[in-house]
Chain A
Amino acid sequence: MADESKGTKISRRKFVKNSGYVAGGVVGGGLIGSLLGVNFGGTEQTSTAPAQETKFNQALMYFTRQADFNTLGAATERIFPTDDNGPGALELGVPYFIDHQLAGAYGNNDNEYMQGPFYTGTPFQGYQSALKRHEIFMQGIRALDRESEANFNDSFTNLEEEQQDEILQSFEADEVELKGVTSSEFFEMLRTATLAGAYSDPLYGGNDDMEGWKMKEYPGSQMSYINEIEDDDFKEIEPSALNEHL
């Protein structure tokens, strides 16, 4: 069972590469939606693999334009790319993780002090924006595309990897003008949200099939290590998620 599932993963990864999407090839929003939504987790990939259920929780809760969502996906993939170690942000479901987070407490800064007046502080006083995170993400994602058009005459998703990196670096270095927030603050938010999506419990929609944990040799949510804690050898443990605690 485990082997079969691994086989599916590899073919899935190849499929992503061959689609040209990860390499920055031209793919329309609708097609990407269907790739991510159906074919990646779909039943029609291989005839030998056991039937996998469609992931009905992979739909958009926050974003309203698929183009924005695709830009987000391409940016997260540059931050955490697919490589020989395993899947990147797209295949792990990170864009869905971020979409769902932006629709909730995280996107709306529910537990944060949002009263004014707002002033720009020193670099040691922390985040002082009047904007909520979902507004920052939306503005930042649109700006990624705007900068891409301005510099390379194409949308962010259509750029070569190196060009995408260049755009992201300009955000990281505060070279892009945004309203009410700096581009480096947006970039840092995007970076940390990408890592959270790659490694949080799969219940949040990222870390698909615990592949993020497997790459990191992290066993997830285990009940006890009392019988192993004193052992000298490194333990390779099949990960477990919170689903098992129900």
Chain B
Amino acid sequence: MVKKLDKVDAVTVGVGWTGGIIAAELAKEGLNVVGLERGSDRDTEDFQMIHDEYRYAVRYGLMQDTSKETLTFRNKPDERALPMRQLGSFLPGEGVGGAGDHWNGQTWRFLPYDFQIKSETDKEYGEDKLSEDYTLQDWGITYDELEPYFYKFEQTAGISGEENPLGAPRENDYPTGPMKSSPILDRFKEAAKNLELHPFQMPSANLSEQYENPDGETINACQYCGFCERFGCEYGAKSSPNVTVIPTAMKTGNFELRTDSNVVEVLHENGKATGVRYVDVKTGEEFEQPADVVVLTSYVLNNTRLLLQSEIGEPYDPETGEGVIGKNYCYQITAGADGYFENEKFNTFMGAGSLGATVDDFNGNNFDHTDLDFIHGGSLSITQTGRRPIESNPIPKDTPKWGKEFKEQSLHYFNRSLSVSAEGASMPHRNNYLSLDENYKDAYGNPLLKLTYDFTEQDRNLHKYLSEKAADILHEMGADIVEENEISEHYDIVPYQTTHNTGGVIMGGDPETSAVNNYSQMWDMDNLFVVGASAFAHNSGYNPTGTLGALAYRAAEGIIKFLDEGGQLVQADKNSQLV
């Protein structure tokens, strides 16, 4: 028996950054919002024992419980997909705040080039730069249109930073100044300058000073304790939904946060969403929450899965190239190099998730690709996130992985090695996509999402290029041994790489090739909005959170407009931008 609840103006599925932003903006307008979160309640006071590498970084204390729900994976469409039985390659969140609790806080704006990548690439390098297998397309919005929303997210989160000489142009300074630098960062900046590159301090949600945001929420000053990545912040000094948008929504009295509520279906009739069906994970009871507007604000993967499961939109078919739900899944290429210093020790155990320095000289279209066999690029950074002893055992290649020599070398280099790493942009490929699995089900009896993904030639070429550039910087920094990263034969679901999964419900100007318009409104269902990195038509050379924050603020504006006016908020562009 499904219990039907009273109708609300809007219901969100998932309460992390995007769900929190939607809730705060709508609730401030006087609209009543219910936020459904499959995980438990969680706040700063839950992080008092957070300095525990084993519980949180190794055993994934804050992440998704894969015993209930995971995905299946294969490299190629003709392989058998098997469940990702334990987390590895990426770490989706669960619980109030979502992955926004355990992010590092590196907060970027994608480049103007990103939003018009297809037209810009064609204009500069001709239409044959990439083969037809790469389903590259514009986003149906320009950077200039998105700029105010980027700033709005940066203001909410109090981002600390300084001007990026090669980044997207800014109308305003960052709300707070850059974090302190450190000898490690200084060393990188000096080497980069010697190589005629343009280093700057990484923009950060680990705040350089105590800050009150425009909603009146206070975020504290970072203590550089070295526990950001995979951890919550015990100081409330890392911007998260829990210390910003969720309390803002709560204060209005118009927002109800409902935890332990796992949404299994978007309900719809005659092309209109009517609400969602969810299961109370503690009791097994089922509920129907009717709403005027349904907003999917869960992680990339679950946003896509709920649409497929609810039979909304046309599923993507890699053979015909038709359909859009599940299309353009992208990841990132984690290139880079390691440097070993014989006679120097660094305080690598200190730091913060976004304590870093970056050069953008090899990102986007900041360099000439005429003679290169790839497009786009990546940001190259050194970060001092707080090196931890269980998972960090830096050893030069050819050192054994255990035993006497391993112990000797890993102790020796723990504080004598540094890495320069790239976040390489990932371009969409026709064979990289999301669909529903035919064989495996979640704890509630619904099919798991199936990921079909492999690295492409574009990825390999980009990886090699960026790793060489990272090695150049480490040589200039004075490392005695420099080793470039190597890309694996195929994408491997096991080792951690990055939690920057994107795509599946992509944004564009044309309903034939995209799922949502530039307000994150479904082309196929006016009162259904799908918000998050699932909207990215490709992945860039930066962390995605700044861009998904901007899109969420844009979506909130759209939802408010829709509740007022109804209908499609954007006129579809009939010219397909697909290659």
A residues near B (Cβ < 8 Å) are 78-81, 83, 85, 88, 105-106, 109-115, 117, 119, 121-128, 165, 168, 191, 194-196, 199-201, 203-204, 212-213, 215-226, 228-232, 234-235, 242, 245
Contact = CB atoms under 8 A, between A and B. Distances in A.
Contacts of B277: none
B66 A113 contact: yes
B181 interface: yes
B407 interface: yes
Contacts, number: 172
A245 B234 CA distance: 11
B411 A215 contact: yes
Nearest to A195: B390
14 contacts: A81-B407, A105-B59, A109-B86, A111-B59, A111-B66, A112-B86, A119-B80, A200-B54, A200-B58, A200-B390, A201-B51, A221-B52, A231-B183, A245-B51
A226 B226 CA distance: 10
Contact of B407 (A83, A125, A217): A83
Interface string B387-410: 111100100000001111001101
B66 A124 contact: no
A223 to B, nearest CB: 6
Contacts of A119: 80, 82
Contacts of A106: 59
Nearest to A79: B402
B249 to A, nearest CB: 29
Interface string B141-183: 0000000000000000000000000000000000000001111
B84 to A, nearest CB: 6
A229 B181 CA distance: 8
Contact of B404 (A81, A122, A203): A81
A85 B407 contact: yes
A127 B86 contact: yes
Given A201-B53, A218-B389, A235-B347, A126 B223 contact: no
A124 B54 contact: no
Contact of A225 (B67, B74, B83, B224): B224
B82 to A, nearest CB: 5
The 6 closest A-B pairs by CB, nearest first: A221-B51, A200-B54, A224-B223, A199-B389, A225-B350, A234-B345
B403 A201 contact: no
B210 interface: no
Interface of B: 48-49, 51-54, 58-60, 65-67, 70, 73-75, 79-80, 82-86, 88, 180-183, 221-226, 345-347, 349-351, 355, 387-390, 393, 401-404, 407-408, 410-411, 414-415, 439-441, 488-494
Given A196-B58, A224-B224, A191 B402 contact: yes
A222 B402 CA distance: 29
A165 B402 CA distance: 10
B457 to A, nearest CB: 18
Given A79-B402, A124-B75, A230-B182, A85 B411 contact: yes
B414 A126 contact: no
A112 B224 CA distance: 33
A79 B66 CA distance: 30
A122 B73 CA distance: 10
Given A81-B404, A121-B82, A126-B88, A200 B415 contact: no
Given A200-B390, A232-B183, A124 B52 contact: no
Contacts of A165: 403
Contacts of B489: 124
B75 to A, nearest CB: 6
Contact of A113 (B70, B347, B404, B414): B70
Given A124-B494, A220-B51, 5 more contacts: A111-B86, A124-B488, A218-B387, A225-B350, A234-B415
Nearest to A76: B402
Point out which of B75, B182, B355, B489 has the most chain A C-beta atoms below 10 A from its C-beta. Answer: B182
Contacts of B492: 123-124, 126
A213 B54 contact: no
B139 to A, nearest CB: 31
A216 B414 contact: yes
Given A111-B67, A212-B389, A127 B403 contact: no
Contact of B349 (A85, A201, A218): A218
Contacts of B66: 111-113
B402 A125 contact: no
Contacts of A220: 51
A137 to B, nearest CB: 16
Nearest to A115: B440
B188 to A, nearest CB: 15
